[in-house]
Amino acid sequence: MTVAEHLIPRWLGDFRAVHDDVQIQLQVHNSMQVCDIAVAGGCDVGFVEGPVIPSGLHSVAVARDELVVVVAPEHPWARRRRSLTVAELAATPLVVREEGSGTRRTLDLALQEYQRPVPLLELGSGAAVRTSALGGVGPAVLSTLAVADHVASGHLRVIEVDGLDLSRVLRAVWRPPRKLEGPAGELLRLIVRDRQAGSVRSRRPE
């Protein structure tokens, strides 16, 4: 859903500028559901955030992002002078996405060595998790794509966690054959070219 909310609109806009005769239908689900639909042949191409791709699907990286811990400015963590430990984060009830989402799976894998409490809230969209964090319900874990504007405005604070890596790769998935053809293949090639061009620009010296 992070891909659907923050990346797909631009990708589809770029695609439509070149292929205005193609009819596009977008379904929004969590990563596990997208993989199930792709395996069943219910879509031409899917986009997922989870770290594991089921066998029987091809995949390619289309973007990278990172999950961060965020709180409202009034939360006690916002006044801390030192970073959280991973154990402290793992021991805290959090506002999280539902089981099956890529965001939840990435967090659960990162904290799998720890005994964890029941989530404070378990919500079905990143927007709902973000709204809860903004309202002071509790700490949340979200993509940087989802909270960048709110962090910049000061409405959310990012909490550093020592030794915790929540970076992830966002991927396109599809059924065989290996080379995706048709409009879906054109869309995917446009996305991959855009990503590669962005990587070249980021490495270019000032």
Q: Are 133 and 142 in contact (CB under 8 A)?
A: yes
Percent of the chain with pLDDT over 70: 96
Q: Tens digits of per-residue pLDDT, 4-39?
A: 989 999 999 999 999 999 999 999 999 999 999 999
What does pTM read for this prediction? 0.86
What backbone torsions phi and psi does residue 96 show, to the nearest 5 degrees? -135, 165
Q: Are 93 and 116 in contact (CB under 8 A)?
A: no
Read off the tokens for 56: 């029987």
Mean of all residue pLDDT scores within the chain: 93
Show the domains of the chain with their CATH numbers.
2-64+169-203 (3.40.190.10), 65-167 (3.40.190.290)
Residue 204: the pLDDT is 47
CA atoms of 18 and 151, how far apart (whole Å) = 35
Q: Tens digits of per-residue pLDDT, 76-108?
A: 999 999 999 999 999 999 999 999 999 999 999
